[in-house]
Amino acid sequence: MTKQEKDRLRYIKNREKIKERSKKWRLDNPKRFKDQLFSWRLRNKTKIHKYNKQWAINNPEKDRLRIANFRKLHPLYIVWQGMKSRCLSPKSTAYKNYGGRGIKICNRWLSLENFESDMLDSFKEGLWIDRINNEGDYTPENCRWVTPVQSGQNGRKVKLTIERANSIRRLYANKLFSQVGLSRLFGVTQACISGIILNKNWIVAEE
């Protein structure tokens, strides 16, 4: 055996011993190991950031393609994430109106695949998910796709119905009230009254 081969064999044996000692030390000192790892990441924070940034610079098309393909495969992902955030994350600004009120997501819809299986066929771009019973949970039986205007009309604080909207149109058409007077009478903004008169809100279905 040559000197070079002996040195190589010695190096391999020493490397295995070092690995074993390192593993034993990590098991015996988990807190110190975690502190050292955190300290290393902190010291190399700039280096890691530069590496990640360089990867994005060198692969912009690949990164965009990856995101685009994911959204193409899962068009309801953002809707699903928003629903989970509102109901399950106390840090969400909307949590107080959903999870904070006891609104839940059914166990089946905690899986993205099940959510898409139930809702994808009726989905169209620009629609929002809406609960039919505003006090009910997110379940297949209680959810539908609606336009943003329809979603707003199903809110807890909505003061109007289609019948009251038609009354507003009649009163304004007969010149009995101005838009300001109607807004005071029905307790809504003038912008809301204007939208009803122009048939932008509470739209009358064409026969």
Distance CA 25, CA 11 (A): 21
Distance CA 128, CA 159 (A): 21
Contact 97, 155 (CB under 8 A): no
Average pLDDT, the chain: 78
**pLDDT bucket at 109, cuts 50 / 70 / 90:** very high
Distance CA 169, CA 171 (A): 6
pLDDT tens digit sequence for 53-70: 666 666 666 666 666 677
Residues pairing with 130 in the sheet: 144
Residue type, 14: N
Tokens 């502190």: give the residue: 35
Identify the DSSP state of 157: T
Specify the pLDDT at position 118: 93
Q: How many residues does the chain have?
A: 207
pLDDT tens digit sequence for 81-102: 889 999 999 998 889 888 998 9
Can you read off the two tokens belonging to residue 10?
Answer: 């010695």
Q: What is the mean pLDDT of residues 117-121?
A: 91
Question: Half-sphere exposure (CA, 13 Å, Cβ side) for 165?
Answer: 19
Report percent pLDDT > 90 for the chain.
15
Give the global pTM: 0.49
Domain boundaries, the chain: 3-58, 73-147, 162-197
**pLDDT bucket at 110, cuts 50 / 70 / 90:** very high
Which residue intervals of the chain are DSSP H helices? Answer: 3-28, 30-43, 45-58, 60-73, 77-88, 112-119, 148-153, 162-173, 179-186, 190-197
Can you read off the two tokens belonging to residue 50?
Answer: 């530069």
Residues pairing with 138 in the sheet: 105
